[in-house]
């Protein structure tokens, strides 16, 4: 049985019935008509697969009908039955485009063979059509999948390297539009897509994963690359490439898949960076603290010895050298303490703009004549609670670096404004909290990634020996952190560098700690009794020595607990507590609190090598507690003691 429908047009009823009878066993569907007109109308309605028609018929003959059908459907299969020798009609049929005839009387098998030929053709066409439909669907699917993919996808023709497809994600990584970036050859214009190695080298065409796929048929997986946007911004991607083969295993294209990992990377970087800074901070903080105690002893004993020498003693010179060196060491220690956020701050409520204006003259002198200084300050006061000296230090350190980065001159801009933290993906930042933003920008040589990653580390410097200490930015970092601020930097090679510092705005007024400046030579004496608690033996000994030399009586304690015991034993005699803050067993602050319960108006001075949690809590500053940062020079100590003892409660 053939899976076709047949329209059979024949005016002779006898022949028609006979053939229908024979064919109905072999053909799925048979319709009949008596003349050309009826046949044509049925064709229009039913669209049978095959038409079989007699030629001579009333009303409309078979060939006329065939012509009309061909006009409807050019390749409609039409078979005519014709009598032997009817040449005239045969020629007409050829004109009309009929390609099949059966001679009368009809041979059933011959007829069925031509049906079969048509049936096969019809089947084939149907299958081809189905296949084509499927291909179109698959293509549409693939196109949609590529276009919608969140990963960047690029398809390159082989062997030309011409970019055939770049999906939206790929274009957005590159930060450009379609027109510029497709239909260009990667061989001729490899720079168009700006691929760089992780170390900053530009990719050569033959190094690119997609080129390897085209040239060697190799598959490349998970390479970290950089794509640079025209703005200079860089995006980190993980790239994989594979060749595309045709059925004969020829490489016809390669496909490159890009995953943008810039944000993820910067978060991981920040975490890593923060951990590193924390660890280095701990270490330097610890060293600096112990170092301070040692310096206190050196400066103390040195000063005492100097005081004991006669004015014309030769050794005075040597002692001055020792004290100078110790002074330098103490400056170094201070920067380390600044970095490790262990400095004692004297914060005040101030207008940030005033601090900056106060540094203007110093700044212009520092940067020299070739560099232009631009001040772009917010037009209203920006009130912050900071240690002005420390913020000045920050500005000076940044300006010094900017100067070094602009040996040929340029512009240094110092700007202030109010702004939320705009840098994205930074943890622990409230998105809409407004900060004071201090921005210091230069037009200097800029930095590469490798340098950028390390600039805040203490002792990291790219400057030659003697020129850089590598402590400038470490201090800046520590100071800003200690002020609960944030610091960000962006820098582009040859374009310049932009430091952005966010400092919390003032919400509360704090009392200012007063510093009395007095004449250097006016060293005060006293007769009062001081309870000295200090765990470092060196520092205790030298402090005791200084106090005794200046008339005071001293009771010593080696930790907080002993201080309480000694106080209880000498309650009436003791006029002043001189406590180190960090001591074993009981810290200075706790010991003081306990003693204050016994004698509420007891006076106290604290010394410390660093501001610990206990100290940095603002409540202590509010109470107007007396602090002396270590190393304490004897004169400052003696003056502070006098000042506190003479102050009425
Ligand atoms: P130092 O200035 O002693 O080298 P810093 O901690 O101040 O130490 O700076 C560390 C490094 O950071 C510098 O050696 C320099 O490579 C880089 N750097 C800092 N600021 C800038 C800047 N504005 N432009 C270019 N490079 C800078
Ligand atoms: Mg510096």
**Residue 568: pLDDT over 70:** yes
Calpha distance 478→281 (Å, rounded): 9
pTM here is 0.50
At residue 608, the 3 state secondary structure works out as: strand
Distance 353 CA to ligand 1 centre (A): 25
Given this model, what pLDDT does residue 510 score? 32
Look-up of token digits 């070094």: 404
Given this model, what pLDDT does residue 428 score? 61
3-state SS record for 408-427: CCEEEEEEEEEEECCCCCCC
> To 5 degrees, how large is the angle CA 284–CA 285–CA 291?
85
Find out whether 89 and 120 touch, Cβ atoms under 8 Å: no
Q: For 160-181, what is the mean pLDDT?
A: 86
Distance 477 CA to ligand 2 centre (A): 12
Find out whether 556 and 510 touch, Cβ atoms under 8 Å: no
Question: 15-24, 188-197, 403-412: which range is least confident on average?
Answer: 188-197
Calpha distance 553→574 (Å, rounded): 9
User: Residue 291 corresponds to which tokens in the numbers above?
Assistant: 């170092």
Given this model, what pLDDT does residue 514 score? 34
Residue predicted with more confidence, 576 or 453: 576
Mean of the per-residue pLDDT values for the chain?
Answer: 86
Look-up of token digits 């204050």: 596
Q: Cα separations (Å) of 77 from 7, 31, 57, 70?
A: 11, 15, 20, 9
Calpha distance 170→175 (Å, rounded): 9
Q: For 233-239, what is the mean pLDDT?
A: 90
**Residue 15: pLDDT over 70:** yes
Q: Which atom of ligand 1 is nearest to the CA of 474?
A: 6
Calpha distance 577→607 (Å, rounded): 11
Shortest-distance Cα residue to atom 17 of ligand 1: 455
Is 487's C-beta closer than 6 angstroms to any atom of ligand 1? no
Q: For 542-561, what is the mean pLDDT?
A: 89
Nearest to 165 by CA among 152, 230, 176: 152
Q: For 28-41, what is the mean pLDDT?
A: 94
Q: Which of 280, 401, 404, 492 to mutate to test the pocket of ligand 1 (most atoms within 8 A of CB)?
A: 401
pLDDT grade for 611, boundaries at 50, 70 and 90: low
pLDDT grade for 57, boundaries at 50, 70 and 90: very high
Given this model, what pLDDT does residue 229 score? 87
The pLDDT tens digits for 71-95 are: 999 888 999 988 777 888 888 888 8
The pLDDT tens digits for 128-142 are: 999 999 999 998 998
- For residue 633, give every residue at least 6 positions away whose Cβ sits within 8 Å of its Cβ, in sequence order, or none: 299, 303
| Cis-peptide into 345, omega within 30 deg | no
Given this model, what pLDDT does residue 618 score? 45
Q: For 448-459, what is the mean pLDDT?
A: 86
Distance 225 CA to ligand 1 centre (A): 27
Q: For 244-259, what is the mean pLDDT?
A: 93
Look-up of token digits 């007109």: 37
**Residue 52: pLDDT over 90:** yes
Q: For 54-72, what is the mean pLDDT?
A: 93
Give backbone dihedrals phi and psi of 257, rounded to 5 degrees, phi first. -115, 130
Calpha distance 549→534 (Å, rounded): 18
Domains parsed from the chain with CATH numbers:
2-126 (3.40.50.2300), 149-260 (3.30.450.20), 267-333 (1.10.287), 348-504 (3.30.565.10), 529-646 (3.40.50.2300)
- The closest ligand to the CA of 477 turns out to be 1
Is 460's C-beta closer than 6 angstroms to any atom of ligand 1? yes
Find out whether 503 and 485 touch, Cβ atoms under 8 Å: yes
Neighbours of 30 (CB within 10 A): 17
Is 445's C-beta closer than 6 angstroms to any atom of ligand 1? yes
User: Residue 126 corresponds to which tokens in the numbers above?
Assistant: 């149907």
Distance 461 CA to ligand 1 centre (A): 6
Calpha distance 182→180 (Å, rounded): 6
Find out whether 30 and 24 touch, Cβ atoms under 8 Å: yes
| Cis-peptide into 225, omega within 30 deg | no
Q: For 315-337, what is the mean pLDDT?
A: 89
Neighbours of 604 (CB within 10 A): 18
Beta strand 234-245 with 220-228 is antiparallel
The pLDDT tens digits for 176-202 are: 876 677 888 887 887 788 899 987 889
- The closest ligand to the CA of 366 turns out to be 2
The pLDDT tens digits for 481-515 are: 889 899 999 998 888 999 999 999 885 333 333 33
**Residue 285: pLDDT over 90:** no
At residue 214, the 3 state secondary structure works out as: helix
Give backbone dihedrals phi and psi of 481, rounded to 5 degrees, phi first. -60, -40
The pLDDT tens digits for 589-601 are: 889 989 988 888 8
The burial of 383, by beta-carbon neighbours within 10 Å (0-12 exposed, 13-18 middle, 19 or more buried), is given as middle
- In total, the chain counts a number of residues equal to 649
Calpha distance 548→553 (Å, rounded): 6
The pLDDT tens digits for 333-391 are: 888 888 887 777 777 889 999 999 999 998 999 999 999 999 999 999 999 989 898 99
Given this model, what pLDDT does residue 450 score? 81
Is 492's C-beta closer than 6 angstroms to any atom of ligand 1? no
Phi-psi group of 238: left, alpha or beta (phi > 0 → left; psi -120 to 50 → alpha; rest → beta): beta
User: Residue 407 corresponds to which tokens in the numbers above?
Assistant: 């040996």
**Residue 519: pLDDT over 50:** no
Is 497's C-beta closer than 6 angstroms to any atom of ligand 1? yes
Given this model, what pLDDT does residue 517 score? 38
Given this model, what pLDDT does residue 601 score? 85
Nearest to 530 by CA among 574, 560, 561: 574
**Residue 145: pLDDT over 80:** yes
pLDDT grade for 624, boundaries at 50, 70 and 90: low
Q: Cα separations (Å) of 376 from 402, 438, 498, 584?
A: 17, 10, 14, 50
Is 469's C-beta closer than 6 angstroms to any atom of ligand 1? yes
Q: In Å, how far from its chain's centre is CA 260? A: 10
Residue predicted with more confidence, 649 or 257: 257
């Amino acid at each position: 049985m053939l899976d076709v429908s047949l329209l059979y047009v024949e005016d002779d009823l006898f022949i028609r019935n006979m053939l229908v009878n024979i064919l109905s066993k072999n053909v799925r569907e048979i319709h009949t008509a008596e003349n050309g007109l009826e046949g044509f109308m049925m064709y229009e309605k039913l669209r049978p697969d095959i038409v079989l028609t007699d030629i001579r018929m009333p009303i409309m003959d078979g060939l006329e009908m065939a012509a009309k059908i061909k006009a409807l459907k050019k390749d409609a299969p039409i078979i005519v039955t014709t009598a032997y020798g009817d040449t005239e009609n045969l020629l007409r049929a050829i004109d009309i485009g009929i390609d099949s005839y059966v001679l009368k009387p009809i041979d059933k098998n011959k007829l069925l063979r031509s049906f079969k030929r048509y049936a096969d053709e019809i089947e084939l066409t149907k299958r081809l059509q189905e296949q084509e439909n499927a291909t179109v669907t698959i293509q549409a699917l693939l196109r949609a999948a590529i276009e919608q993919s969140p990963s960047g996808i690029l398809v390159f023709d082989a062997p030309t390297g011409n970019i055939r497809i770049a999906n939206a994600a790929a274009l957005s990584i590159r930060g450009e539009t379609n027109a510029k970036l497709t239909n260009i050859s990667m061989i001729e214009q490899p720079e168009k897509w700006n691929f760089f190695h992780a170390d900053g080298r530009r990719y050569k065409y033959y190094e690119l994963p997609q080129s390897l796929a085209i040239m060697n048929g190799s598959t490349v997986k998970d390479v970290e690359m950089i794509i640079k946007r025209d703005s200079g911004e860089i995006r980190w991607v993980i790239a994989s490439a594979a060749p595309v083969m045709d059925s004969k295993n020829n490489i016809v294209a390669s496909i490159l898949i890009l995953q943008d990992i810039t944000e993820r990377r910067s978060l991981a970087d920040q975490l890593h960076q923060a951990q590193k800074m924390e660890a280095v901070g701990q270490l330097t903080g610890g060293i600096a603290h112990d170092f301070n105690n040692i310096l206190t002893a050196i400066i103390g004993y040195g000063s005492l010895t100097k005081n004991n020498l006669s004015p014309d003693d030769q050794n005075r010179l040597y002692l001055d050298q020792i004290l100078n060196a110790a002074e330098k060491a103490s400056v170094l220690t201070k920067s380390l303490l600044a970095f490790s956020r262990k400095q004692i701050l004297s914060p005040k409520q101030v207008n940030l703009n005033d601090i900056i204006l106060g540094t203007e003259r110093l700044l212009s002198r520092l940067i020299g004549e070739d560099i232009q200084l631009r001040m772009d300050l917010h037009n209203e006061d920006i009130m912050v609670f900071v240690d002005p000296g420390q913020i000045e230090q920050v500005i000076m350190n940044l300006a010094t670096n900017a100067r070094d980065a602009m040996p040929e001159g340029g512009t240094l801009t110092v700007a202030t404004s109010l702004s939320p933290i705009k840098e994205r993906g930074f943890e622990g930042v409230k998105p809409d909290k407004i900060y004071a933003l201090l921005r210091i920008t230069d037009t200097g040589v800029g930095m590469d990634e490798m340098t950028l990653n390390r600039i805040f580390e203490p002792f990291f410097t790219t400057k030659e020996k003697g020129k850089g200490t590598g402590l400038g930015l470490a201090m800046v970092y520590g100071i800003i952190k200690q002020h609960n601020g944030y610091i960000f930097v962006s820098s582009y090679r040859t374009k310049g560098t932009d430091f952005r510092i966010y400092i919390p705005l003032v919400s509360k007024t704090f009392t200012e700690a007063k510093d009395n400046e007095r004449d250097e030579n006016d060293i005060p004496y006293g007769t009062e009794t001081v309870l000295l608690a200090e765990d470092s033996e060196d520092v205790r000994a030298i402090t005791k020595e200084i106090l005794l030399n200046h008339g005071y009586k001293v009771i010593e304690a080696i930790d907080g607990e002993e201080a309480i015991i000694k106080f209880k034993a000498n309650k009436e005699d003791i006029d002043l507590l001189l406590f180190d803050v960090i001591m074993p067993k009981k810290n200075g602050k706790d010991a003081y609190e306990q003693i204050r319960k016994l004698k509420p108006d007891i006076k106290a001075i604290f010394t410390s090598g660093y501001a610990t949690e206990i100290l940095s809590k603002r409540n202590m500053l509010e109470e107007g507690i007396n602090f002396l940062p270590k190393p304490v020079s004897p004169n400052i100590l003696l003056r502070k003691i006098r000042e506190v003892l003479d102050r009425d409660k």
